[in-house]
Amino acid sequence: MNEPIIRVRDIAWIRLQSPDLDQAEKFLTDFGMAKAGRTGNALYMRGTDAEHHIHITELGPPKVLSIGFHADSERDLQRLAEQASGASGVETINEPGGGKRVRLSEHNGFGIEVVHGLDRVSALPVQRFKFNTGPDRRRLGEVTRVSVAPSQVKRIGHAVISTPDIKQSVAWARRHLGFTPSEEVHDEADQNELLASFIHADRGKEFVDHHIMMFGRHATAGLNHVSFEVQDIDDLWAGHEWLINQKHRHCWGIGRHLLGSQIFDYWNDPWGRLHEHWTDSDRVNADHPYRLVPRSEGLRSQWGPQAPQEFRDAASK
Ligand SMILES: [Fe+2]
């Protein structure tokens, strides 16, 4: 494998296009984000961590525009601009939060933005409760009272792309973004038929989420889902109840994934783009042994419902 052009630090945002910014803001607020800014033609939403924003909605017909990733330095942006075929130059981002970026296309034509130098903001206060579970007795002389309310989205975690050619997609992501596979899933009968590839940011010995992207095999290319970390399982369940009460459309959950181990819950936005809440991901580093597993040991829930057809077919354009 050739050396990657750069190794990105983390995922930065999803950029969608939607025909009604008020409706987008209502869904994303119910989903548990806070408004970071709004202009005449775009909405910027944040989590409780210190990133300026993690979700962008531009006004227009429903469309998935791009996924953003953080580079370590402006020098890395320059390297991408010089070495990645079809890349833009280093551009100044003329949006709230500022920063610079390079625009690329993933091999299916999917928009990728690599960014650096965005404004940081103060983290928002978070409500979490202590648990008295197993041998841990941490809540002493206090009671727990969880209200049904929007989850408190902490950060963006990963994006999953449906693609007809997983090997090409992974090769593109390795070369341009420096990602490395954590675990991959093959067809039960044929080890060479890849069904899914879970890849993580290569940060050496530093532990990172089990996957920052996942590629799943599908007849057409598109966004399967975008995923956001919430504070804990109480926060996930409270947000689940809130989204039901607000009549948003549920897709799948609550359960625990096998690969990545996250406790998950999937929701449709008003235009059918899947947004995931999760908590408690596996964390891996360069010492993590790569594994190739058959479907029966990969794509299932450890507990909770198995994936419905609607989820398996999701490939938003
Ligand atoms: Fe996910």
Distance 257 CA to ligand 1 centre (A): 9
Distance 90 CA to ligand 1 centre (A): 30
Q: What is the pTM of this model?
A: 0.97
Q: What is the mean pLDDT of residues 20-39?
A: 98
38 exposed, middle or buried (CB, 10 Å; 0-12, 13-18, 19+)? middle
Please tell me the number of Cα atoms within 13 Å of 170 on its side-chain side: 21
Domain 10-121+152-312 CATH assignment equals 3.10.180.10:
yes
Distance 48 CA to ligand 1 centre (A): 19
Distance 214 CA to ligand 1 centre (A): 8
Is-contact 12 77, C-beta < 8 A?
Answer: no
- Cα–Cα distance measured from residue 243 to residue 249, given in angstroms and rounded to the nearest whole number: 8
* pLDDT tier at 1, thresholds 50, 70, 90: low
- Which secondary-structure segment (H or E) carries 297? none
Joined tokens for residue 41? 């033609």
Please tell me the number of Cα atoms within 13 Å of 255 on its side-chain side: 18
Distance 206 CA to ligand 1 centre (A): 21
Distance 123 CA to ligand 1 centre (A): 24
Joined tokens for residue 169? 């997609």
Domain ranges of the chain: 10-121+152-312
Look at residue 296 in the predicted model and tell me its pLDDT: 87
* pLDDT tier at 107, thresholds 50, 70, 90: confident
**How many other C-beta atoms are found inside a 10 Å radius of the C-beta of residue 165?**
15
Distance 189 CA to ligand 1 centre (A): 25
Distance 229 CA to ligand 1 centre (A): 10
Look at residue 164 in the predicted model and tell me its pLDDT: 95
Distance 20 CA to ligand 1 centre (A): 26
Q: What is the mean pLDDT of residues 115-144?
A: 95
- Which secondary-structure segment (H or E) carries 168? helix 166-177
Distance 225 CA to ligand 1 centre (A): 7
Whether residue 132 has pLDDT greater than 90 = yes
- Cα–Cα distance measured from residue 137 to residue 134, given in angstroms and rounded to the nearest whole number: 8
